[in-house]
């Protein structure tokens, strides 16, 4: 391999030769953690002929819009020759090593691979089961002959997250944590530095996460009344909550009801979806449970998108605009016990970090932070009408809706 003069920060150069099998690169926005991971990835591919390297994110469209663009940029900047097969989602180098790109939303996508190097972007989005499956796949020929590596790039959430438990509380000898701060990046523009620092006065918990990039024990959690217990014997009826997005994720939650308690059974959570694509994925999700659009008593949707609601209605859903009274909705949701299936990775992740704003004096304000709240909006849309005076009651359901 020709000598490459890697242009990196001092912190990145410190770890350019790291060979730890399980490496969690954690830190704040703009800290250079993604560039660190991409450099290790490309370096491995160039140094190991015929290597099989994999880059994952929870959903492939998100991966294509983020780290794949960064990888192309780095290959161009360093004038590294490669061929890209966009239909098959992989890059090939002259030494026949390859980098494959895939989502982790379907387990079958990773069960047949033999990998030498694995890089997971936004690893806080994936489940512990996916991580354990990936570790089992780190068994390619190059990894046996030299070394294999699995890298997680993480923006820390709360200390209840599985990554914190695995890499900080239950750390083994083949694991390492590297922490990057925005202060480690001398290439960061001054205006970005100011933005990160100003967050300290607006919301300290957000400052810890996005500026310091550290795991946090939040003190202003909005919802604490939830668990992962699900029913084994079915539900009295079903409804749904739906938050629309495109660059941000679109989110559908399938909600089962029993004794006036909501059970979040499953989720569709993906960005880059047109509305027909979103509807198709919701249809497919319902089909997994033997349900059809009419099985939902009501699908409560973000009322700011009437055209998209109309398309759901045309597809057979009883889709209506939800009441968007945030304070009242949160108050109603807080009054009931929530049950969220463990498979709802994004809903569990969001609810663990969903919190009220704080002012510069640390006073908690009666309004939520508007970051990473797509599933939280969908919960509010789906639960608030059922439990408030504008909703339907159990007698109406029993009279007109099939019991599953």
Domain boundaries, the chain: 10-191, 226-400
Residue 248, helix vs strand vs coil: coil
Domain 226-400: give its CATH code. Answer: 3.30.420.280
How far apart are the C-alpha atoms of 24 and 188, rounded to whole Å? 22
Predicted pLDDT of residue 218: 62
- Output the six-digit token pair for 49: 């002929």
pLDDT reading at 392 higher than 60:
no
Sign of the Cα pseudo-torsion (205, 209, 213, 214, in order): positive
Segment among 140-144, 162-166, 312-316, 321-325 with least mean pLDDT: 321-325
How far apart are the C-alpha atoms of 169 and 192, rounded to whole Å? 32
Beta partners for 250?
270
Question: Among 3.40.50.12780, 3.40.50.300, 1.10.260.40, 3.30.470.20, what is the CATH number of 10-191?
Answer: 3.40.50.300
pLDDT reading at 362 higher than 80:
no
Beta partners for 91?
84, 99
- Output the six-digit token pair for 341: 């299936």
Residue 52's pLDDT band (cuts 50, 70, 90): very high
How far apart are the C-alpha atoms of 396 and 399, rounded to whole Å? 5
Exposed, middle or buried, 204 (CB in 10 Å: 0-12/13-18/19+)?
buried
Predicted pLDDT of residue 219: 65
| Residue pLDDT, tens place only, 11-39 | 999 999 999 999 999 998 889 999 999 99
Closest CA to 283 of 240, 322, 236: 240
Predicted pLDDT of residue 1: 55
Cβ 285 vs Cβ 291: under 8 Å: no
How far apart are the C-alpha atoms of 25 and 214, rounded to whole Å? 11
How far apart are the C-alpha atoms of 177 and 168, rounded to whole Å? 8
Cβ 243 vs Cβ 372: under 8 Å: no
């Amino acid at each position: 391999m020709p000598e490459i003069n890697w242009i990196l920060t001092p912190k990145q150069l410190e770890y350019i030769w790291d060979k730890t099998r399980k490496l969690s690169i954690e830190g704040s926005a703009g800290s250079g953690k993604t560039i660190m991971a991409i450099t290790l990835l490309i370096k491995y591919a160039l140094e190991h002929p015929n290597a099989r390297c994999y880059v994952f994110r929870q959903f492939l469209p998100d991966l294509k819009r983020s780290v794949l663009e960064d990888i192309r940029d780095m290959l161009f900047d360093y004038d590294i020759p490669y061929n890209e097969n966009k239909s098959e989602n992989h890059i090939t180098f002259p030494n026949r090593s390859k980098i494959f790109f895939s989502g982790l939303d379907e387990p079958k996508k990773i069960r047949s691979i033999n990998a030498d190097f694995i890089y997971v972007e936004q690893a806080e989005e994936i489940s512990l089961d996916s991580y354990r499956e990936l570790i089992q796949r780190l068994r390619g020929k190059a990894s046996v002959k030299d070394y294999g590596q699995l890298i997680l790039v993480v923006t820390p959430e709360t200390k209840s997250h599985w990554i914190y438990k695995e890499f900080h509380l239950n750390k083994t000898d083949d694991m390492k944590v590297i922490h990057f701060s925005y202060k480690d990046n001398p290439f960061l523009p001054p205006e970005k530095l100011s933005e990160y620092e100003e967050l300290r006065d607006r919301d300290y918990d957000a400052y810890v996460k996005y500026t310091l990039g550290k795991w946090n024990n939040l003190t202003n959690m909005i919802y604490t009344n939830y668990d992962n217990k699900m029913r084994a014997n079915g539900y009295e009826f079903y409804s749904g909550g739906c938050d629309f997005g495109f660059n941000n994720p679109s989110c559908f939650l399938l909600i089962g009801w029993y004794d006036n308690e909501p059970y979040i059974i499953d989720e569709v959570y993906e960005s880059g979806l047109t509305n027909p694509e979103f509807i198709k994925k919701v249809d497919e999700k319902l089909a997994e449970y033997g349900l059809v659009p009419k099985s939902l008593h009501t699908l409560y949707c973000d009322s700011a998108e009437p055209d998209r609601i109309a398309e759901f209605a045309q597809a057979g859903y009883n889709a209506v605009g939800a009441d968007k009274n945030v304070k009242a909705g949160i108050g109603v949701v807080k009054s009931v016990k929530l049950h969220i299936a463990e498979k709802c990775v994004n809903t569990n992740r969001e609810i663990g970090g969903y919190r009220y704003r704080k002012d510069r004096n640390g006073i908690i304000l009666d309004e939520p932070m508007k970051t990473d709240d797509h599933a939280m909006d969908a919960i509010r849309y789906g639960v608030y009408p059922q439990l408030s005076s504008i909703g339907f009651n159990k007698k109406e359901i029993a009279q007109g809706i099939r019991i599953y």
